[in-house]
Amino acid sequence: MEKFNLRTPQTADKLAAPILMEFKEKYGMIPNFYAALGIDGASLSGYLDFEQAIEDFGSLTERQRELISLSVANYNQCHYCVSGHTFSAKKIGLSSQECADAQRAIAKDSGDQAILSLSRTILEKKGNLSQEDVDAALFHGLTESQILQVCAWTALNTFSNWVNNITQPKIDFPKVDFA
């Protein structure tokens, strides 16, 4: 059961309504996460702008962003996002095993592992990285810019996890268990 009343283009505020209508026109439906985030148009708009900027101008690949998303969703115990990001990750070629491993912050590729390790450290230390943590990321090939992008993507996903954990929207993807 949903704790909050998810929004539609007809019930959303003036900022969220056109965004939700765009989702409906583009996908034929509004994913429940966006309907939940549509409770507050400023939050929906800000989230989408932040996400778009990282995707358009960042150097993290779509694969790396999905790996981070899966790891963060598991850490924050967001069942909606574990399911949604497993669906998205598989669409871009990740296997079920890679998705389950990512939930545990494990990757076979050393660059992907460096990103997952950094993201997990950011979560565990609440962003209070030591110089040793930064040096380890740099040693494993991440740039200063990528360190901030990993931080940004981790924070963005934490926000979406928390929204889902608060609003409890129905999962509208194939359900996936926590790893």
Helix (H) or strand (E) holding 154: helix 144-167
Same domain, 104 and 36: no
Give the whole-angstrom CA distance, residue 42 versus residue 20.
Answer: 13
Give the whole-angstrom CA distance, residue 95 versus residue 97.
Answer: 5
Residue 107: both structure tokens together: 């990757």
How does pLDDT run across 17-66, given as a tens digit for each residue? 999 999 999 999 999 999 999 999 999 999 999 999 999 999 999 999 99
Whether 10 maps to a domain, the answer reads: no
Angle (nearest 5°) at CA 79 between 25 and 85: 55
How does pLDDT run across 53-82, given as a tens digit for each residue? 999 999 999 999 999 999 999 999 999 999
Same domain, 41 and 66: no
Domain span including residue 146: 60-167
CA distances from 149 to 48, 116, 129 (A): 16, 12, 15
pTM comes to 0.96
Domain count, the chain: 2
Same domain, 50 and 70: no
How does pLDDT run across 110-169, given as a tens digit for each residue? 999 999 999 999 999 999 999 999 999 999 999 999 999 999 999 999 999 999 999 999
